[in-house]
Amino acid sequence: MGSEATEPRWLTADELETWKTLQLMMALLTGALGEQLQRDSNLSFLEYYVLAGLSDQPDHTMRLSQLAILANSELSRLSHLMRRLENRGLVRREPDPEDGRFTNAILTAEGYAELVKAAPGHVELVRQLVFDPLTETDRRALQKALTKLLPGLLGDC
C-alpha cells in the first residue's frame, strides 16, 4: 500500500497575517463584550447570548439540545449555566410537552426584563467596536465573507 504523503497547504504570508488578525479580533471582541456585560448587567457573554437566543424563539422556549448548538456548548456545560440562570429567576426548565425525553429552556419575564436592560449597552459597544469603524462597503464585504464561511462551520447543525 503506497500512500504518498501530501504536503500541507501552508498559508501564504498574507493568509497567515489575516488569520492572526482574525484570531486576535475574535478573542479581544469576545473579551470586551463580556467585560461590558459583566460590569453593566452582571451577565456573562454566554449568559447574555443564551437569554437573547431564547428571546428570539416562539414563546421564548427552546429545547436544551438546540440551545446547546446555538450557544456552541456541550449539554453538561449548558446545564450548569441553566442552573445558575434558574437560581437567578431568569429561566426555567420544563419537560417538552411534545416529547418528554427532551427538556425545554424557557425565558422568564424576569429574564426578558434583564435582557431588555442589558441590550442597549451591549448593542452600543457592538456598534462602536464592529460597525462604526467600517464604511458601508466594508460592512457589506464583511457580511458577504462571513456568509461564505458560515456553512463550513455549521456542518450538520
Integer Cα distance of 31 and 17 in angstroms: 21
Kindly give the confidence (pLDDT) of every residue in the chain, 157 residues in length, as a single tens digit, with 9 standing for 90 and above.
Answer: 555 678 999 999 999 999 999 999 999 999 999 999 999 999 999 999 999 999 999 999 999 999 998 888 888 899 999 999 999 999 999 999 999 899 999 999 999 999 999 999 999 999 999 999 999 999 999 999 999 998 888 775 5
The reply to whether 7 falls in a domain is no
The strand pairing partners of 91, in sequence order, are 107
The answer to whether residue 72 sits within a structural domain is yes
Q: How far apart are CA 136 and CA 31, in angstroms?
A: 25
Say which CATH number the domain at 62 has.
1.10.10.10
Residue at 100 is within a domain: yes
- What is the pTM for the complete model shown? 0.85
Q: Is residue 138 part of a domain?
A: no
* H or E stretch covering 106: strand 103-107
Q: Which residues contact 90 (CB under 8 A, 6 or more apart)?
A: 47, 51, 107, 108, 110, 111, 114
Provide the domain count of the chain: 1
* Assigned domain for 19 exists: no
